Structure 1
């Protein structure tokens, strides 16, 4: 019989009774006693157990006592092989073994004998199983992951092994010494307590592992980066986890990389709601010093997730003008200025008149509403509503139109004949707003006995009663206090008609004239006759003119493009230009449709050589761009008709942004089908390019319900480049869903899109993303999203320059030899998208074949997707962009290659005998300027405010001052709003003030929130005043109409040649003031350049610091005219900014862009060359400073 004991209380007592019949056998008792015995055991002698007994004793037992009891004379105890601890044991029946655990030498067969009977027990020294582990007792395993539980069992005899999961037998193992358990594809059913039980004859041991399913934290929603108004009392940043992470996560909040703890400024908390976990950071009180980068880190042993927020502090728009009643004279120009301060700047300004939207102005930020030649019907309630992300304010204006007095007489009452002594009522009618005053006078004496009657709000009638005695003249004067004019006068000349008695032979009856007043109508009749004749003559002229127009229109309707049999038939003698209705009075000029080799025999445009493109475009633009109109008409007529049955299916209609934009079946992009029907559809078509048939995918801007499809398409076709030519919102209308990830990681239909980096510039953004299906372990797809934001819907950019530069950026990432399609989309995916694709292809064609064919290109592209190049203006722009791309290229140069470029530009081209600088500057300054773009500066009321009549601001970006009621032109100053390379509205470039414009200069500084002025000229240069002194001496004040300027101090830096002033400007009407930093650079004269660039570099650093501190406050820069030295300064700033963001420069492009914002920026070849040399020096100084 065997017993198993734990090692803490192991006891073996073997009690053996051997009973022998008194006549034939003896009683035999064999006892084993250990230190920790808990039970007795008896071995009874019989024929089966005498040699089959085995006893295991733990090696931890301190002593073992063996007793053999039987017949006193014949009982003995002995052990086999003399391994017993004593040499004489046969005569003893009691043996005590000490320190049993020190050795195995006491393992033996012990025999108890009495007479002829004996019992043998084999005593073995063993051990209870001992389990050691290699793992931790608690482990976490991800779903579908694997784990191994490693153990080691030390046991004698060998232990039996069994694994249990949650007390249930589940697993067995054959290795009893190193039993391990390996689980693959771990899931929630396998979570629990894993117990290993090892047992042998001495006892058993066990160990338990706790295995949990680890769940990584996943952030599924969070605040987006945004600005908050300073008016907010508090802001809470909140994240939501889509699961309950195991083990519980640790959550850390950081502000600008510094860990946050709960404090007076911040409250950190978490809670669970509807089974979801939320963690929040409450910013107790909004202050500007709490703006910055906030990051939340959620981590457990499996991974760390993070989400970042960029918190900026701003404000809703604040009114900066004194609104209310605005009064203007009829026929004057009324200006309503919606000047406001907002952070961030306003995104839209909505104008209304008498609660009706002025839809023509709902197109962005129009701060000024100009009403030329206002009429009485323009009077009423106007409101402007500037809005930004925080909200909006409504600024009311009550426009009152005053009309100078005019007389409203129906007859000419200047000559009146009346009998003497008769009473005559003279009535004077006057109209005006406000109601005029009427004054009667006679012989320069004002009469007071007058009656007045008003009619409505505009008319007054005044009656003067006179008694005619003699010839007299009465004057009625209508006047108003709205003008300083004496008003209008009406003179009444009265001729007294006397009764005359004549004595004649016959008749004797006196001749008595009529007694009633005689009002002659002779003048009225003459006027009526003259007017009648004029009307007859006018009608005759009008009939003749209409006949001519009808003939011309009939000729226009019957004329069409001649289909020539050969190019040689094209001649100036063939026909004259078709008359456009708007040009019916123009002189006819010979028509030249294109160059001789640009028409095929069927009349379709064929290839045009690169050398002839400029002339070709010039001919198409002749006669009000008639050639372009004819070509575009052919494109309309030849529009293909293909089926679009899949896109018209009921299940797919909701996936189409516009009803009239069809997705042709034969060229549509097909997605991998899913389980449901028609889910292979996306509104996208392949468009062939210069290199292969599926070089582009033209698609619409994704809808909210097609974002997943967009990313499916990008992944399935491995599209590494996306060209986006629209904003998400345009004119307050949604044009495209925000389908990309601005930060962190988001899953779109099992495709994880991760944000890597963003670069946001004035005209475009470049966003780097990575794509990978959630269950895919292969290589990620790196995607570059290029967004061009300077292209209005249905319109064209102001210039091709920015788009061409943008295209170069796209091609830097997406080379021509790429086999994967480039995704191109705008809103509808036809207008802007088609123009970009055609431009990209034609520039490749020009590069490879030295010829282009935009007409045929668009015709072929429309076979793949309808309406590509959607408007005639886009078709014309396409040609202009191709020409400019061929002429200028706009290729960037790396910063390290700039010195090499300068050396090359200094070399003389042997063919034209000119340097590269000369050729560049000639190209830069070529081209025609439409003077209508400067019409505001050319107005007679403004012309005297310009230092130079050929340096005027563009209307589109001139600084508009608040209009002063009744003062025409008071909103004008010769100043332009200028963008930097990366940010909008960074500079105000302006001319030096004149004596007559100093007040306007300071009004501009205050109204435009200017804090820094950089002056690049001196007051006197070459003995000529080039700038009026617009500041006072130290401690003095300069009192102007609208503002007061105080000089609070000056500091001269002779080494840098910079004089720094602190000028306080106070705006009287608003009773508000601020201090302006004024930097006067004194080391730069107009006809020579600074000998030392350190001062100029210092000013560039100051400008950069000011822009970084407050992008809402433009930096005012001026020299004498605001284009030469000012242009150099802005060019250097923008180029350094480009080098900072992109590690490359493009001075030609930078200056071209500046010249599109202020005419004649960089006036001379010498200034252009100085820009390059100064830029190289500035970049070298920046590198040395950084190192």
Structure 2
């Protein structure tokens, strides 16, 4: 039964330049709210349909391959195209062309429809003995992804805490440079091999793609001269998304921190906001210590920055084993909405990742790099932070030509904890923060590239001068 036909414009390509710029493809919304294009495959949403046909092209009766190049409602994009994506979204809002099914709002609303299809249970959180451990009655961890607290010998303890594992999967990408960038890169490499220094500098200062600049930097081995532009993403990172502590869950929280060998905590809330308690203080004042069940927690230091602060905390168990925990608290998130400027949160994320990288190099490093993230409910700001961090890691590891997908990443984390990224404002903020990060890193890379290349050219010139002076004394055949 055909309920509602939807027309969707897409670009089709048969392996040669297209005869016409676009063709019309009729997408059918059929019974049970499934989408298809008449080929038999059924999809729960338009995003899934579009991504499928980007990977697996349509075949016409004539045998021609029709490839979906860039569907207008696709959510996946190249990292270096994020400016264009954000601009289009903003223009749709500015000119009031945005309806409920397009733009930021359309992408976000489609996530809410997908949430209704989740079949995970929340039985543990709904048990009578655990209800007092939930800050909000409607925000519970899935049984399938919740953190289960281990029981100690001869102790009858609850294994429940309102916290969820959030794992990341490596999203597929195609990080190839465009042809013009490859040609520019090859030209630079050939000139370097020929030592034609006069031609290298002006060519490199032209607008090469970011991938080309990175490859030239690699070819010149400039990492060893000036160090890495940006540290590699933390390897094998996993998140635990948790609610803010209640007065009766502080012991459980530290039990979890010790059990999961967590060394870094990201707290994205103040203790009190707008007169409401958001999170109980679960750490002692600087220079003091407190006992939480069998753990002794001592605050060593507290360092304040413009929008966040860092606490160094030592934790001892009853077997005299000690670990150092770093708690990062972001204090500049407003009571309502999102930060007006993403720079502070990006600095916060960068500092956390730097710390995790350092810890991973230590002798007693944990087997798994687990980052505990919490706000008050453990879904809104927490989800925004985790999604943004995942996407930044993707760009760090794969470059500006990699595919990124805010929608799919939010869908990924929501499949592990319900309600992650709570509202459209947070969803939009991810785009704006990611745009800011890519723009700033792009500028930094290009500046560093030019400085490194100049350093290389100066050194090469000096070596040539020394060789010229020494040549009369050298026996060169």
TM-score by length of 1: 0.25
Which whole-Å deviations, capped at 9, do the CAs of 1:604-641 have from their partners, x for residues lacking one?
A: 84531122221122223332154111111111111124
Task: Report the CA distance shift for 1:649/1:563 in structure 2 as closer, same or farther (over 3 A).
Answer: farther
- Aligned equivalent of 1:630: 106
- Cα distance, 1:559 vs. partner? 8.6
- Aligned equivalent of 1:772: 316
Task: Report the CA distance shift for 1:891/1:571 in structure 2 as closer, same or farther (over 3 A).
Answer: closer
- Aligned equivalent of 2:395: 846
Where 1:795 maps in the other structure, the secondary structure is: coil
Task: Measure the CA separation in 1 of the matches of 2:146 and 2:236.
Answer: 13
| 1:682 has 2:134 as partner | no
Task: Report the CA distance shift for 1:768/1:751 in structure 2 as closer, same or farther (over 3 A).
Answer: same
- Cα distance, 1:655 vs. partner? 0.4
Instruction: Describe how 1:566-585 pairs up with structure 2 within 5 A.
Output: none
- Aligned equivalent of 1:858: 410
Instruction: Describe how 1:491-502 pairs up with structure 2 within 5 A.
Output: none
Task: Measure the CA separation in 2 of the matches of 1:653 and 1:750.
Answer: 24
Instruction: Describe how 1:498-537 pairs up with structure 2 within 5 A.
Output: none
- Aligned equivalent of 1:785: 327
Instruction: Describe how 1:1078-1157 pairs up with structure 2 within 5 A.
Output: none
Which whole-Å deviations, capped at 9, do the CAs of 1:926-962 have from their partners, x for residues lacking one?
A: xxxxxxxxxxxxxxxxxxxxxxxxxxxxxxxxxxxxx
Conserved? CA contact 2:10–2:23, under 8 Å = no
- Cα distance, 1:667 vs. partner? 0.3
Task: Report the CA distance shift for 1:891/1:711 in structure 2 as closer, same or farther (over 3 A).
Answer: farther
| 1:877 has 2:429 as partner | yes
- Aligned equivalent of 1:439: none
Conserved? CA contact 1:567–1:601, under 8 Å = no
Task: Report the CA distance shift for 1:564/1:663 in structure 2 as closer, same or farther (over 3 A).
Answer: farther
| 1:716 has 2:259 as partner | yes
2:141 is matched with which residue: 645, 660, 663?
663
Task: Report the CA distance shift for 1:830/1:693 in structure 2 as closer, same or farther (over 3 A).
Answer: farther
Task: Measure the CA separation in 1 of the matches of 2:138 and 2:74.
Answer: 28
Task: Measure the CA separation in 2 of the matches of 1:651 and 1:755.
Answer: 32
Conserved? CA contact 1:771–1:782, under 8 Å = yes
Where 2:421 maps in the other structure, the secondary structure is: coil
Q: Which has the higher strand share?
A: 1
Q: Which 5+ residue runs of structure 1 have no aligned equivalent? A: 1-557, 576-596, 893-899, 911-1187
Task: Measure the CA separation in 2 of the matches of 1:846 and 1:615.
Answer: 17
Which whole-Å deviations, capped at 9, do the CAs of 1:51-102 have from their partners, x for residues lacking one?
A: xxxxxxxxxxxxxxxxxxxxxxxxxxxxxxxxxxxxxxxxxxxxxxxxxxxx
Conserved? CA contact 2:296–2:315, under 8 Å = yes
TM-score by length of 2: 0.61
Where 1:747 maps in the other structure, the secondary structure is: strand
- Cα distance, 1:562 vs. partner? 5.1
Task: Measure the CA separation in 2 of the matches of 1:669 and 1:560.
Answer: 44
Where 2:417 maps in the other structure, the secondary structure is: coil
Task: Measure the CA separation in 2 of the matches of 1:903 and 1:835.
Answer: 35
Task: Report the CA distance shift for 1:665/1:746 in structure 2 as closer, same or farther (over 3 A).
Answer: same
Task: Report the CA distance shift for 1:793/1:647 in structure 2 as closer, same or farther (over 3 A).
Answer: farther
Which whole-Å deviations, capped at 9, do the CAs of 1:365-419 have from their partners, x for residues lacking one?
A: xxxxxxxxxxxxxxxxxxxxxxxxxxxxxxxxxxxxxxxxxxxxxxxxxxxxxxx
Task: Measure the CA separation in 2 of the matches of 1:613 and 1:902.
Answer: 22
Task: Report the CA distance shift for 1:901/1:564 in structure 2 as closer, same or farther (over 3 A).
Answer: closer
- Aligned equivalent of 2:208: none
Task: Measure the CA separation in 2 of the matches of 1:909 and 1:694.
Answer: 36
Where 1:776 maps in the other structure, the secondary structure is: coil
Conserved? CA contact 1:663–1:685, under 8 Å = yes
Which whole-Å deviations, capped at 9, do the CAs of 1:1119-1147 have from their partners, x for residues lacking one?
A: xxxxxxxxxxxxxxxxxxxxxxxxxxxxx
- Cα distance, 1:571 vs. partner? 7.1
- Aligned equivalent of 1:836: 385
Where 1:705 maps in the other structure, the secondary structure is: coil
- Cα distance, 1:712 vs. partner? 0.6
Task: Measure the CA separation in 2 of the matches of 1:636 and 1:571.
Answer: 34
- Aligned equivalent of 2:306: 762
- Aligned equivalent of 2:295: 751
Task: Measure the CA separation in 2 of the matches of 1:852 and 1:651.
Answer: 42
Conserved? CA contact 1:725–1:825, under 8 Å = yes
Task: Measure the CA separation in 2 of the matches of 1:754 and 1:827.
Answer: 23
Instruction: Describe how 1:16-35 pairs up with structure 2 within 5 A.
Output: none
Conserved? CA contact 2:266–2:374, under 8 Å = yes
Instruction: Describe how 1:222-301 pairs up with structure 2 within 5 A.
Output: none
- Aligned equivalent of 1:219: none
Task: Measure the CA separation in 2 of the matches of 1:616 and 1:909.
Answer: 37
2:348 is matched with which residue: 806, 829, 841?
806
Task: Measure the CA separation in 2 of the matches of 1:864 and 1:884.
Answer: 27
Conserved? CA contact 1:658–1:828, under 8 Å = yes
Task: Measure the CA separation in 2 of the matches of 1:693 and 1:908.
Answer: 35
Where 1:809 maps in the other structure, the secondary structure is: helix
Which whole-Å deviations, capped at 9, do the CAs of 1:969-1010 have from their partners, x for residues lacking one?
A: xxxxxxxxxxxxxxxxxxxxxxxxxxxxxxxxxxxxxxxxxx
Task: Report the CA distance shift for 1:875/1:902 in structure 2 as closer, same or farther (over 3 A).
Answer: closer
2:124 is matched with which residue: 646, 657, 668?
646
Bigger CA radius of gyration: 1
Q: Which 5+ residue runs of structure 2 have no aligned equivalent? A: 26-48, 55-70, 171-234, 361-365, 458-477
Conserved? CA contact 1:758–1:765, under 8 Å = yes
Instruction: Describe how 1:938-957 pairs up with structure 2 within 5 A.
Output: none
Task: Measure the CA separation in 2 of the matches of 1:648 and 1:733.
Answer: 24
Conserved? CA contact 1:605–1:856, under 8 Å = no
Task: Measure the CA separation in 2 of the matches of 1:598 and 1:803.
Answer: 33
Task: Measure the CA separation in 2 of the matches of 1:695 and 1:839.
Answer: 14
Where 2:354 maps in the other structure, the secondary structure is: helix
- Cα distance, 1:842 vs. partner? 0.5
What is the total number of aligned residue pairs between the two structures?
Answer: 324
- Aligned equivalent of 2:375: 826
Task: Measure the CA separation in 2 of the matches of 1:907 and 1:718.
Answer: 45
Conserved? CA contact 2:9–2:24, under 8 Å = no
Where 1:824 maps in the other structure, the secondary structure is: strand
Instruction: Describe how 1:438-517 pairs up with structure 2 within 5 A.
Output: none
1:698 is matched with which residue: 241, 256, 267?
241
Task: Measure the CA separation in 2 of the matches of 1:599 and 1:621.
Answer: 23
Task: Measure the CA separation in 2 of the matches of 1:827 and 1:567.
Answer: 47
Instruction: Describe how 1:104-183 pairs up with structure 2 within 5 A.
Output: none
Conserved? CA contact 1:605–1:853, under 8 Å = no
- Cα distance, 1:676 vs. partner? 6.4
Instruction: Describe how 1:62-461 pairs up with structure 2 within 5 A.
Output: none
- Cα distance, 1:750 vs. partner? 1.3
| 1:601 has 2:53 as partner | yes
Conserved? CA contact 1:598–1:608, under 8 Å = no
Task: Measure the CA separation in 2 of the matches of 1:663 and 1:891.
Answer: 41
Where 1:813 maps in the other structure, the secondary structure is: helix
Which whole-Å deviations, capped at 9, do the CAs of 1:255-308 have from their partners, x for residues lacking one?
A: xxxxxxxxxxxxxxxxxxxxxxxxxxxxxxxxxxxxxxxxxxxxxxxxxxxxxx
Conserved? CA contact 2:8–2:24, under 8 Å = no
Task: Measure the CA separation in 2 of the matches of 1:762 and 1:837.
Answer: 22
2:79 is matched with which residue: 597, 604, 610?
610
Where 1:646 maps in the other structure, the secondary structure is: helix
